[in-house]
Every structure is written in C-alpha cells, then in structure tokens.
Amino acid sequence: MKYSLASLLSGLIFGLGLIVSGMANPEKVLGFLDIAGLWDPSLAFVMGGAIIVGLGAFAIARKRTLSFLGFDMRIPTNNHIDKRLIIGGLAFGAGWGIAGFCPGPGLVALGAGEAKAAVFVASMVSGMIIFEVIERARSRAAV
C-alpha cells in the first residue's frame, strides 16, 4: 500500500510538473524541435533542470541500499549501447518529432482529453504490444 501511494503521488507530481512547464503541450515541444523556424528554447531549460535533479538523486541513490520507503534499491547497471538501443532511440525521436509527445506528456494530455494524445497513446500501446510479440518470438526461436 505504501509503495502504491508513493507511486501515485510521484506520478501526480510528475504530471503536474509537465503541465506547469508546458511540456504536455505538443506545440511547445514542436517549437523546441523547430530549430530552423521560431525556435522555443524553453524545453532545453526544463530538460537541463531535470538532468540536474536526476544527477543529484542518482548520486544519493547509489550510496543507499534501501529507498526512503524501505524497499531494496534497484538501480540499472547496464550501460551497453547496441544497435537495438540506437534504433529504439531513433524511433522514439521520430515519434516525438511527429507527434510532439513522448510517453509521459502523452498520458497527461490524454488525461486532459486531448484527441491527438488519444491517437498517440493508442499508437504507443500498439508499438509496445508489437515489440512484446516480436521479443517472445525471438526468445522462442533462440531456445
């Protein structure tokens, strides 16, 4: 229960941050990506702030064995860059540039009732399902 409540509160704070910063607005994101037109640098400041907070949080987390809620710390250790990661990053970037959404802001905008977000989230979930089907087929073929 404690974990679920903390997860809900964290998600609400994250969503509120996306709304306040304007990052749930695809026009704001597309304005940032339009470097040849009316470029809007505000997303760079939001990203910079998030990176600074993240660096501090990970520096603290690496020194801990338990989270503040008493759960085991599970920090990813894989730092391998491979073809799949690069292709995934390119696909993510292309989708972000076309739609103006990435997963978090897309879900926030969906919750706000934006029709474009519904199309984005449906496409995102479809992509996740397709990926899972392919991964399962690959693992069965490898056995």
pLDDT tens profile 40-65 = 888 889 889 989 999 999 899 888 88
Q: What is the pLDDT of residues 75-103, one digit of tens each?
A: 888 889 999 899 989 988 888 888 888 88
3-class state of residue 3 by DSSP: helix
Counted domains in the chain: 1
Tokens of 4: 């679920």
Q: Residue 119: which of 86, 143, 88, 95 has the closest Cα?
A: 95
Q: Which domain holds residue 84?
A: 2-142
Compute the average pLDDT of residues 18-45: 86
